[in-house]
Amino acid sequence: MKKYLLIGVSAFVLGAGSMAYVSSHALASAEPRAKTYRMLGLFGDVLDTVEHQYVTEVDDTKLIQAAIDGMLTSLDPHSGYLDPASFQDMRDQTRGEYGGLGLEVTSEDGVVKVISPIDDTPAARAGIKPGDYITAVNGESVLGLSVNDAVKEMRGKPGEAVTLTIAREKTDPFDVKLVREIIKTKTATAKMDGDYGVLRISSFGEKTTDEATQAFNDLKAKNPHMKGLVLDLRSNPGGLLDQAVGVSDLFLEGGEIVSQRGRDPRDIERYNARPGDITGGMPMVVLINSGTASAAEIVAGALQDRKRAQIVGLTSFGKGSVQTVIPLRGGLDGALKLTTARYYTPSGRSIQKTGITPDLEVASTKEEAQAIANRAFQFSEASFHNALNAQEGKTRAAPHEPAEAPPANFDVKKDFQMARAEDVLHYGSVAATPKLPHPTAKLAEIMSKSRVAQVKPPAVTK
């Protein structure tokens, strides 16, 4: 199986090829090719001008790498160029061991934005949240830097301290001091919560399917009377496609898991499950939120479409694209990460921009419910100005009141979304689960109309 990377960070792919054309095709394509050659000549002229006239000496290699990266990042948020060091860092990360802080990040208009902290890493323990902006590292601004350059600033020797300046909505910028660690990401863990097992998958690396299998089997051996399973994919930023397929396959007896479709309508790859459900058909609920992205959405979408599990939480991130990583000269010149396809759930839906909609929408806090109502919380694929378009005719949910939020008497130390997932297991389905009163969040358009009503029209001078 080809390896595809499905994480919401900077990406890129470069290829070279040739095709024989008959004379009529050659004539038809002569003008576009002439324009391309002219623009390449323009690039050479600009590079030459910069080399000779810029105020200080420049590094040609860095200029050309930046130009390549700029070309690719203009396509969509997930395409880009990885220089040799960044390519090695990416390989280390997918293997599950690297030095750093434990953050999945992307770039939005020249600003580094957090997709998700990885469980049990310095970033997660420090309380960094999805949607946070990183504006400086050790007091030095990273505004305008590429994701790769910003990540280089954050990585370093284990044991060294690093200070990140964080910008968060409705909060003044603040500094967070962290200590770098060797990040050995164990992506799957399991525990019991009352009568129910909880399988937590934090990302999809090279060992995730094996780790999830081992974690569940160990838990089941110790708790043979487990009544159901919650698969927790909240704030899971994604990872490798083959691992998303492998995890989905653990819970399905057969049939399609996901398909990916490229530029050519005939270019379709389908991934199917093999017989054998690791749980033996145990009732399941999948927990998601707005930080559930990419490979994690494949799993949630497959289990939802195949009626294997019901989904509880918040609409997911909405990254429905596939990036292919292509090494250049065996990695000596780095690699390209290029968006090459969209993926589709078994029912044929693309979730690009729109995300996976839960069967029972549950906000974790009242504040989160209000944020969804006024869109302040809506950090998603749709928030990127150059994201791939959604499936024709589809849009992400507009501001609205979430179906549920913690009632006043709920213990704030407990996990409300997890509690509601376990309620669904207890009652057998979302439909049978008693519903709670809607939160009192005010919708953005209502708040807007209220503000307009309070503003007096300007005086008119005759």
* Residues known to be catalytic: 294, 305, 319
Write down how long the chain is. Answer: 462
CA-derived radius of gyration, the chain: 24
Q: What sign results for the dihedral spanned by CA atoms 108, 119, 200, 241?
A: positive
Helix or strand (DSSP H, E) at 81: strand 80-82
Q: How far apart are CA 344 and CA 341, in angstroms?
A: 10
Tell me whether residue 239 is exposed, middle or buried, using C-beta atoms within 10 angstroms of its C-beta: 0 to 12, 13 to 18, 19 or more.
buried
Between the alpha carbon of residue 73 and those of residues 9, 44, 70, 270, 364, the distances in Å are 11, 20, 5, 28, 34
* 372 Cβ contact partners less than 8 Å away, ≥ 6 residues apart: 314, 363, 378, 399, 400, 401, 402, 441
Per the CB < 8 A criterion, the answer to whether 101 and 118 are in contact is no
Ramachandran class of 194: left when φ > 0, alpha when ψ lies in -120 to 50, beta otherwise: left
Rounded to the nearest 10 degrees, the angle between the axes of helix 295-305 and helix 241-250 is 30
